Amino acid sequence: MKKIIMAASAVLLASSLNAAGNTNTGCGLGSMVIENQDTVLMQLFATTTNGTSGNQTFGITSGTLNCDKPTKIVLNEKLEKFVAQNMDELAIDIAAGNGENLDTLSTLMSVEDKAAFTQALKANFSKIYTSSDVTSAEVIDNIASIIG
């Protein structure tokens, strides 16, 4: 019950601070389906719709549902394809702190200081490859969180 009251209070506060334009609910299916979000109740419905169905994550990842793709490196299609096709080789290069796959990765990510980049990845290998069944998308996100 406390969580509901706190969430409602946060939405009320945010809506009173942002009466000109509604950025409270974010992007996602709720922002598209519930067009009139002038009231707290409608903003709560939009937020709940975004949060319960997981569509906001999809929208952010794909750049749909009124969501913008992140401007950083995380969603570069060439990067995604490269990492997916070279997971094992990339892991070896990151662990060693050098190698052709690591060079390609830094190029795809438009890294300026490659030496610092490779050292940061090597030092944080266990945070990048968190398990034997880590996905390429998780590897990219983990790298982005380390360098970003």
Q: What is the 3-state secondary structure (H, E, C) of the chain?
A: CHHHHHHHHHHHHHHHHCCCCCCCCCCCHHHHHCCCCCCHHHHHHHHHHHHHCCHHHHHHHHCCCCCCCCCCHHHCHHHHHHHHHCHHHHHHHHHHCCCHHHHHHHHHCCCCCHHHHHHHHHHCHHHHCCCCCCCHHHHHHHHHHHHC
Whether 67 is in a domain gets the answer no
Whether 19 is in a domain gets the answer yes
Residues 39 and 105 in one domain: no
Q: What is the pLDDT of residue 4?
A: 54
Q: What is the pLDDT of residue 21?
A: 39
Range(s) of the domain holding residue 42? 2-62
Number of domains in the chain: 2
Residues 140 and 84 in one domain: yes
User: One digit per residue, pLDDT tens: the chain, 148 residues?
Assistant: 555 554 444 444 444 333 333 567 777 777 777 778 778 888 777 777 777 766 766 676 667 777 776 655 444 788 999 999 999 999 999 999 999 999 999 998 889 999 999 999 999 999 999 999 999 999 999 998 998 7
CA distance 104 to 60: 26
Q: What is the pLDDT of residue 88?
A: 96
pLDDT of 42-68, one tens digit each?
A: 877 777 777 776 676 667 666 777 777
* Amino acid type, 116: A
Whether 98 is in a domain gets the answer yes
Whether 68 is in a domain gets the answer no
Q: What is the pLDDT of residue 76?
A: 75
CA distance 64 to 47: 16
Q: What is the pLDDT of residue 70?
A: 60
